[in-house]
Amino acid sequence: MEIITKKNIQQGPNVKSKKSLSPWAIARKKFFKNKLAIISLVFMIIMTSLAVLAPYIIKVDIARIDYMAMNLPPSIEHWFGTDTNGRDVFARTIYGGRTSLLIGVACTLLVVSFGTIIGSLAGYYGGGVDQVLMRFTDFVLNFPLIVFVVVLNTIFIGEISGVWTLILVVSALSWGSTARLVRSKILAEKENEYVLAAVSIGCSPLKIIVKHLMPNVFSTVVVQASLLMAIMIVFESSISFIGFGVPADTPSWGNMLTEARQSDVLQNKVWMWVPPGLAVTFTILAINFIGEGLKDALNPKSSR
């Protein structure tokens, strides 16, 4: 007993207590251990950087039609070849990412912002406010998005075409699922003791929602946003592929894939549609892997 006591006394001053990590530090540590999510994050950083710096990287005129360079296969001068109008496919792929990623990010931010506001108000106040907001949400969810965009472009052809018009229309009809998700989380969280304590000391509803409820719903919103961004990029590619999305004079991955509707291009000129197709595929996979990594990292029940 004496030896143990002396040993403990000697080691006592040198023993340092282990510093506990915050929930965000634990989540960050778990996320960076997910190799697939990190590789996907690096890929998205590269793609985003190329899209943002496209005007400084690409020196050719992507809109210029060159009849002397039509349907050329990949070469040193044209890395990905040229399309049926003689335009450089590599340059258009980079600029197409600029458009597609802009639509994905902008739609996601608008959808998440509006859906979070509607869902948090409905979940916190309940009663009549909840009924009105949720019935309005149901009304918005009833609109078939693709059909609505196609009909709108057909009726107002040439008058509402544009990237930002597409962003606003898609965002206005896509926030319903996010609002329902946030509402369900707020309904579960507002019954906890910390919310009742905040109410008892006279905190305003806005302060309770922003300061107390939203931090506990934030992880769910982040994961939802990552999945929404992938959905928006796929939607843009789909609607542009059938000719009702981004205007034809604006390069996007969906617009470039329209070349594949011609059987000759599909079979014999694969360089025209494979680059944008691979860009869409790998981007969607990367976003989904990042979303899964965030989901595991922000879930306190997942293994550490």
- CATH number for the domain spanning 259: value is 1.10.3720.10
Question: Is 26 a member of any domain?
Answer: no
Question: Is 11 a member of any domain?
Answer: no
Specify the amino acid at residue 110. L
Cα Rg of the chain (Å, integer): 26
Question: Is 90 a member of any domain?
Answer: yes
Question: Is 108 a member of any domain?
Answer: yes
The total number of structural domains that make up the chain: 1
Instruction: Tell me which residue range forms the domain holding 184.
Output: 46-298
% residues pLDDT > 70 (the chain): 88
SS3 65: coil
Q: 144-158, 195-209, 235-249 — which is least confidently predicted?
A: 144-158
Per-residue model confidence as pLDDT tens digits over 150-174 = 777 766 655 445 788 888 888 888 8
Residue of 233, 244, 242 lying closest to 276 (CA atoms):
233
Output the pLDDT for position 7.
46
> φ and ψ at 21, to 5 degrees?
-90, 150
Question: Is 238 a member of any domain?
Answer: yes
Residue of 171, 68, 195, 170 lying closest to 115 (CA atoms):
171
Output the pLDDT for position 6.
47
Question: Is 2 a member of any domain?
Answer: no
Region 236-261: mean pLDDT is: 81
Output the pLDDT for position 282.
92
Output the pLDDT for position 112.
92
Question: Is 25 a member of any domain?
Answer: no
Question: Is 3 a member of any domain?
Answer: no
DSSP 190-231: TTSHHHHHHHHTT--HHHIIIIIIHHHHHHHHHHHHHHHHHH
% residues pLDDT > 90 (the chain): 14
Instruction: Read off the pLDDT band of 109 (50, 70, 90).
Output: very high
Residues 6+ apart with CB under 8 A from 247: 161, 162, 163
Read off the pTM: 0.82
